[in-house]
Structure 1
């Protein structure tokens, strides 16, 4: 299977890539590294990436920015960071990527625990994650040629514990192998329109 992974060099991306690369052809994509580069907040950049990748069997996005700050501090422009990058970036990957995905191929998008259990300073990020969940469920009804779409929503992951644990009091970190298995379930299985929640 030919799998394009956006964010392949990130914390979760590395684990997912490792779990898939033995039996699949992986195209690693990053903002400044990898086999190809893309800025998912820019539709032209997305189109160029797909022109260079050609047809693939699965498109996986483990990327996207959102502003973390107190609600009182967030400006309208701060909200647009997450809307343009993590939300519309992933929407546009699906919108544009449909014509580059082989029949019966799949999209796997990434959200996170904040859609269901927001924590302090995550008004923008939680909003974006929830929007992606709704988009996935609706888009699944209309995709053609056997195409599937799912979102992965993981709790705090083990390899990011040191960086983020203060933001997530009481959250038990999810082992990376369990996170990678969630992505494999979406990519290699038959689920469609699902929010695959990964908890410890």
Structure 2
């Protein structure tokens, strides 16, 4: 398979990339690194990326920004960071990418535990994650060419524990192998329209 991974150099992305590139052709994309650069908050760069890469069998997004701050500190523009990047960025990857995805291909998007169990200072991120869940469930009913779409939603991952554990009191970090397997399930399995939750 020819697989495009956006966010391939990130904490989760590098683990998923390492697993899939053993048996598949993997094209790594990122904002400032990888085989090709893309800013998912800008649909023009998404279109440019797909034109350069050409047809693929699977599109995985493990990227997207959102502002973390207390609700009283969040401005309208702060909310738009997550809306433009993590929400519409992933929506646009599907909207534009469907024209470059081979018949029977799949999309795998990424959210996280905040959609179901938000923690302090994550109003914007939780809102965006919940929106992606609804989008995936709805758009799976309309995709053509036997395309599938799923979203992986994991709790705090082991490799990000040191950076984020203070935000997630009482959360048991998820082993990276378990997270990686969720992406493999979406790409190589048959689920469609699913929120693949990964908990410890």
1:19-34 to structure 2, matched below 5 A, reads: 19-34=19-34
Rounded Cα–Cα distance in structure 2 between residues aligned with 1:24 and 1:50:
18
Task: After TM superposition, give the deviation of residue 58 of structure 1 in Å.
Answer: 0.2
- Secondary structure of the 2:99 match is helix
CA distance in 2, matches of 1:51, 1:157: 33
Q: Distance in 2 between matches of 1:140 and 1:90?
A: 14
Superposition deviation, residue 19 in structure 1: 1.0
2: distance between equivalents of 1:198 and 1:36? 29
Q: C-alpha distance in 1, partners of 2:19/2:199? A: 19
Matched residues, number: 200
Name the residue aligned to 1:162.
162
Partner of 2:113: 113
Q: Distance in 1 between matches of 2:99 and 2:7?
A: 21
SS for the counterpart of 1:99 is coil
TM-score (normalised: structure 1): 1.00
RMSD: 0.3
Structure 2 counterparts to residues 9-20 of structure 1, below 5 A: 9-20=9-20
Matched with 2:59 is 59
Q: Return the TM-score normalized by structure 2.
A: 1.00
Deviations 1:91-120 (A, max 9, x none): 000000001000000000000000000000
The runs of 5 or more residues in structure 1 that have no matched partner are none
In structure 2, distance between residues paired with 1:19 and 1:119: 31
**Match of residue 88 from structure 2:** 88
